[in-house]
Amino acid sequence: MSFSTELLIKVLVVLATAPVMALGLTLLEVKGSAWMQRRPGPLHVGLRGFIFPLATAAKYLQKETIIPNDVDEPVFKWAPAWVIAAVVGLFTIIPLSPTLIVRDLELGVFFLLAISSISTIGVLTAGWSSANKFSLMGGLRAAGQLIAYELPLILSVVGVVIQAETMSTVGIVEKQIEFGFPFVIAGQGIAFIIFMIAATAEMMRTPFDMPIGESELTMGFFTEYSGIRFLIFYISEYINLFVMCAIASTLFLGGYHVPLLPTEWVNFYGPLVLIGKTFLLAFILIAIRWSFPRFREDQLQTLAWKVLIPLSLLNIMATAIMKVVF
Amino acid sequence: MEAIDIFSYFLLLLLLLSGVKVVTTSNVIHAAIFLVFTLATTAVLFILLSAEFVALVLILVYIGAVIVLFLFGVMITRAPLGPNAELDNDQNKLLAAVISLSIFGIFTYILLQTFDSTVVISEGTSTKLLGEILLSRFVFPFELVSFVLLGALIGGITLARKDNALMDEDQI
């Protein structure tokens, strides 16, 4: 198979998988929230609520696109594209099995950190170009939050990279198989918790949803968006949830591997195992979202700079010392 | 001409166009976004030259941090949208032309002096090798650069922070 055919097939598979995973997680979110808050819609309406995400997507697709008069039109129109391009790009390094991966990059983890930082530009330009004070405040809060939480996210992964001696995602999973335990048990438990907290903040989900904060800022940086562009912001939130949980499963929970199953069949059960672990992590984040209230802005910054960053630096030091000693 | 050559020339054209737009547009945010395109095209060119690490550093540091801080600064200080007349002046065009032409000349001269017409074929950079060299042969410059950056950081904080003798300790 030539390089370009292979590339085309991989791109098509990713473009088909991303919305399906987003729909699955939307379903999990609405059903989880309905179950926790006794909402009848997602539990009983239409095939016991299972067509709810499809109905949501159809609703937004047929809505009118409204563009306010004073917006900076090209910047406003293209802002959602930055966000979705960044999250879909991350599918490149998610390993469903040692061979079922778009590309096993030597710099896999570094790629994750570089590409995920692009979505900040989308959020900032969306907030700024809307010509709306609520949007601007949302954009400013988002920028402060994304800059602050990118550091613990990067630093918590450094511990894993030191322990695995590689940045390739397949390499990290293979190291965990060789070791016999996933990294969350074998020394990186604190890093896992820091990673999950920082990832929740990066995704701007409750309890870190100040940039959106309905009760304070209407809808924050995407207040002025409607129709298909709103849908792109909405769906990229769930694609991001999938990607972040899949990366966390790969780095800390052993990825596509489960003990006792024969490794030669990994191409069959690998994708299911990884998606299962991902949905489990996503369910925990969903349960947190529907149980906790929002932080205050200063508490958010304090948590990042005074707790998470020092803790992850200590984790790096401890991992490095253990690496030299053993 | 192979497909990859056509692709590189297309990228160079894109790089040139977005670079020109960065300096000619009178809207600060548009300039920042064109700068993102410029940097992204440069990153793709580095990937074509199999320097993956440099390309990703370009994206992480310049697009992910520098441009974001730039946009952040613009949003705090310059809330009204639209073009800014101050950015469109004719005063120093000659000086700017002289400076940019001389920088272009110096770079062309250095590149021709160093490589002339030799073609460098590389197997691609190994990040592992890069890390080892950085912590063995170049460990002194590496530490020196970190020290300079630390100095800049402390200096920045000292300059930005007002004298807080008048402030309550619990207000900080």
Residue B61 inside a domain? The answer is yes
Ramachandran angles phi, psi of B9, nearest 5°: -65, -35
Closest CA to A67 of A2, A153, A132: A132
State the count of interchain CB pairs (< 8 A) between A and B. Answer: 81
Residue A159 confidence (pLDDT): 87
Residue B105 inside a domain? The answer is no
Q: Which of B82, B117, B151 is the last residue of a domain?
A: B82
A220: DSSP letter: G
* Residue to test with chain B: of A118, A137, A141, most B Cβ within 10 A: A118
User: CB distance A107–B69 less than 8 Å?
Assistant: no
ipTM: 0.78
Collapsing DSSP to helix, strand or coil, A234 comes out as helix
Task: Give the predicted TM-score (pTM) of the model.
Answer: 0.83
CA dihedral B154, A153, B61, B40 (to 10 degrees): -160
Residue B63 near residue A117 (C-beta atoms within 8 A): yes
Residue B117 inside a domain? The answer is no
User: CB distance B76–A120 less than 8 Å?
Assistant: no
* Residue to test with chain B: of A107, A132, A133, A158, most B Cβ within 10 A: A107
Residue A169 near residue A255 (C-beta atoms within 8 A): yes
Closest CA to A200 of A243, A234, A250, A244: A244
Residue B5's Cβ-side half-sphere holds a number of Cα atoms within 13 Å equal to 2
CB-nearest to A131 from B81, B126, B127 is B81
Cα(B153)–Cα(B29) distance, rounded to whole angstroms?
Answer: 26
Residue A157 near residue A316 (C-beta atoms within 8 A): no
Residue B120 inside a domain? The answer is no
* Residue to test with chain A: of B38, B63, B171, B172, most A Cβ within 10 A: B63
B residues 15-74 closer than 8 Å to A (CB): 27, 29-30, 33, 36, 52-53, 56-57, 59-60, 63-65, 67-69, 71-72, 74
CB-nearest to A124 from B30, B71, B81 is B71
| Residue in the block written with tokens 């080892």 | B132
Residue A180 confidence (pLDDT): 76
Same domain membership, residue B60 and residue B2: yes
Same domain membership, residue B78 and residue B12: yes
Residue B103 inside a domain? The answer is no
Collapsing DSSP to helix, strand or coil, A257 comes out as coil
Burial of A165 (0-12, 13-18, 19+ CB in 10 A): exposed
Domain coverage including residue B145 = 126-162
Kindly list the distances between the CA atom of residue A123 and the CA atoms of A178, A236, A274, B108, in Å, as whole numbers in the listed order.
41, 12, 29, 39
Any CB–CB contact under 8 A between A7 and chain B?
A: no
pLDDT exceeds 70 at position B81: no
Per-residue pLDDT in tens (0 to 9) along chain A, 326 residues? 677 788 888 888 888 888 888 888 888 887 887 777 777 777 777 777 777 777 777 888 888 877 777 777 788 888 888 888 888 888 888 888 887 787 777 788 888 888 888 888 888 888 888 877 788 888 888 888 888 888 898 888 888 888 888 888 888 888 888 877 777 777 788 889 999 999 888 888 778 877 776 777 777 777 778 778 888 888 888 888 889 999 998 888 887 878 777 777 777 888 888 888 888 898 888 888 888 888 777 888 888 888 889 999 999 888 888 888 87
C-alpha distance from A291 to closest chain B C-alpha (Å): 31
Cα(A83)–Cα(B64) distance, rounded to whole angstroms?
Answer: 13
Residue B31 near residue B70 (C-beta atoms within 8 A): no
Residue B84 confidence (pLDDT): 66
Counting the structural domains of chain B, the total is: 2
| Residue in the block written with tokens 């562009």 | A229
Burial of A249 (0-12, 13-18, 19+ CB in 10 A): buried
Check which CATH number belongs to the domain holding B20 and give it.
1.20.120.1200
Cα(A286)–Cα(A207) distance, rounded to whole angstroms?
Answer: 11
Angle between helices A309-325 and A133-164 (to 10 degrees): 10
Residue B172 confidence (pLDDT): 47
A185: DSSP letter: T
Q: What is the pLDDT of residues B12-69, one digit of tens each?
A: 999 999 988 888 887 788 888 899 999 999 999 888 877 788 888 888 888 888 888 8
C-alpha distance from B81 to closest chain A C-alpha (Å): 7
Q: Which of B62, B82, B102 is the last residue of a domain?
A: B82
Output the six-digit token pair for A83: 């966000």
Residue B74 inside a domain? The answer is yes
Residue B106 confidence (pLDDT): 94
C-alpha distance from A116 to closest chain B C-alpha (Å): 8
Q: Which of B47, B82, B117 is the last residue of a domain?
A: B82
Residue B77 inside a domain? The answer is yes
Residue B7 inside a domain? The answer is yes
Any CB–CB contact under 8 A between A128 and chain B?
A: yes
| B136 Cβ contact list (under 8 Å, min separation 6) | none
Residue B147 confidence (pLDDT): 92
